[in-house]
């Protein structure tokens, strides 16, 4: 199944979603952005629309893009039905954002690792933002060689589930370096997601309590946090 078909199928069964006002990812982004009222904000890979609705509720003029026609249609219909006029849904590639008017802020969650060639996208992103603009991304990470070996050799086999489409790959450290060629980049690991992956994938939820405690224990050591499968990227 192609990536486009995969995501169209996902959003055919998952319509536009009202955001959780306590979502830590959205709150982290909002804390970084500050007052978003009246600013031009790009929701990159808007998916089920929850992040677009979150920022629009706070007064941002949101441009929501996604390659999934179903995602964009869902969000368009939701905005029309609910009288929301500060969200503009557009079906397009992330590489096409340079043709839009510049943005003050860019938000994305689990989107960067889908984009290739990434060095080209980093340039497009810089050119699509005002000089004082900020971007925030919540992403996975390919820093841990062990996790990537497991992903390449075990996931999708032996009854181990595979999540996501066939084309995506976790964000690699060298791709973060591409961003650093154009932005000041701060990387923060908000949690340690490492041992819990064994429970999620290989153990079908068993030993979740134990693996969670291991993650919490090792998170206290800053040198171990970089192995987490989750990271926040703050760009300015």
Query: What are the structural domains of the chain?
Result: 3-142+169-192+226-235 (3.40.50.150)
Strand order in the sheet with 103-109: 87-91, 61-66, 40-44, 103-109, 129-140, 230-235, 185-188
Tell me the pairing of strands 129-140 and 230-235. antiparallel
Cα gap 179→123, rounded to integer Å: 8
User: Angle formed by the axes of helices 3-12 and 69-81, to 10°?
Assistant: 30
Q: What is the pLDDT of residue 164?
A: 73
Q: For the whole model, what pTM was predicted?
A: 0.94
Q: What is the pLDDT of residue 220?
A: 97
Q: How far is CA 7 from CA 2, 151, 165, 169, in A?
A: 9, 20, 8, 16
Bond preceding residue 117 cis, omega within 30 of 0: yes
Q: What is the pLDDT of residue 1?
A: 57
Provide block-wise average pLDDT over 10 residues at a time, the chain (236 residues): 82 88 98 98 98 98 97 97 98 97 98 97 98 98 93 78 80 98 98 91 81 97 96 98
């Amino acid at each position: 199944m192609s990536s486009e078909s995969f995501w169209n199928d996902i959003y055919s069964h998952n319509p536009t979603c009202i955001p959780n006002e306590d979502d830590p990812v959205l709150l982290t982004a909002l804390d970084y952005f500050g007052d978003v009222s009246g600013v031009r904000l790009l929701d990159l890979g808007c998916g089920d629309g929850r992040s677009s609705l979150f920022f629009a509720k706070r007064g941002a003029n949101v441009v929501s893009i996604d390659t999934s026609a179903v995602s964009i249609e869902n969000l368009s219909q939701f905005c029309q039905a609910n009288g929301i006029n500060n969200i503009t849904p557009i079906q397009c590639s992330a590489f096409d954002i340079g043709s839009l008017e510049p943005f003050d802020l860019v938000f994305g969650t689990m989107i960067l690792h889908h984009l290739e060639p990434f060095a080209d996208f980093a340039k497009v992103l810089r050119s699509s933002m005002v000089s004082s603009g900020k971007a925030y991304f919540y992403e996975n990470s390919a820093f841990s060689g062990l996790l990537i070996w497991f992903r390449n050799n075990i996931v999708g086999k032996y009854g181990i589930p595979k999540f996501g489409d066939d084309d995506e790959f976790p964000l690699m450290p060298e791709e973060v370096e591409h961003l650093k060629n154009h932005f000041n980049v701060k990387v923060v690991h908000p949690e340690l997601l490492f041992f819990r992956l064994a429970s999620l994938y290989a153990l079908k939820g068993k030993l979740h309590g134990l693996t969670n405690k291991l993650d919490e224990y090792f998170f206290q050591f800053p040198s171990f946090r970089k192995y987490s499968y989750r990271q926040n990227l703050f760009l300015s």
